[in-house]
Structure 1
Amino acid sequence: MADDDVRNIFSMTKALEKFQVQVIPAMDGKEALEVLNSGEAIDIVLMDMMMPEMDGYETIKNIRQTPPFATLPIIAVTAKSMIGDREKMYTSGSFRLYFKTC
């Protein structure tokens, strides 16, 4: 989970731990990229879109340009959504559809 607000990381961690989900926090986009490149097994990313230095949009673009993470599920998280943000998220690569056949 990449978010610059420790309160959000704390509350999401508490909620997800009930489902045996291990949350690995990153305080900004650069740290999120470091975590991904560390070799840690990551199944999904929760990405805050409004972070200092490297925001969620830029971070997602960097993630998508790295072949092992090109299809990694990323959920965009934001407290403030403005006109045009949805399109910006689509173009950054945060929304993709995943289908599994049985």
Structure 2
Amino acid sequence: MKFELVFIRHGESTGNAIHETHNKDIDFLLELTEKGKQQASITKETLQNETFDSIFCSDMIRTKQTAEIIFGDTYDILYDERLREAFLSTDKDFVINYKEIPKTERVPMRLK
């Protein structure tokens, strides 16, 4: 059986806007910025002629907001906490500023 998976990243979040990621409790609550909402709207327009069997989404606020903008008026969205990203720390004071990470360590993952 052949199937296709489409992955969509959430729009810009308040954390992305300031180049930071936080511990899991704070990161879970980050919302989309206005730019992130615009990005989701553009994605909706781009996908308007596509059809999907199912829509799965992490239960994080920014991913839910993104999915609702793109698919909310057309599909039932299945939210699942198992789709959350992996967290580096549970320390309440944990913060990483992206700009402090050397560029050589920021190479995006490539799927073959």
TM-score normalised per structure 1 = 0.34
TM-score normalised per structure 2 = 0.32
Which of the pair has the greater relative contact order for Cα pairs under 8 Å at 6+ separation? 2
Computing the radius of gyration over CA atoms, which structure comes out larger, 1 or 2? 2
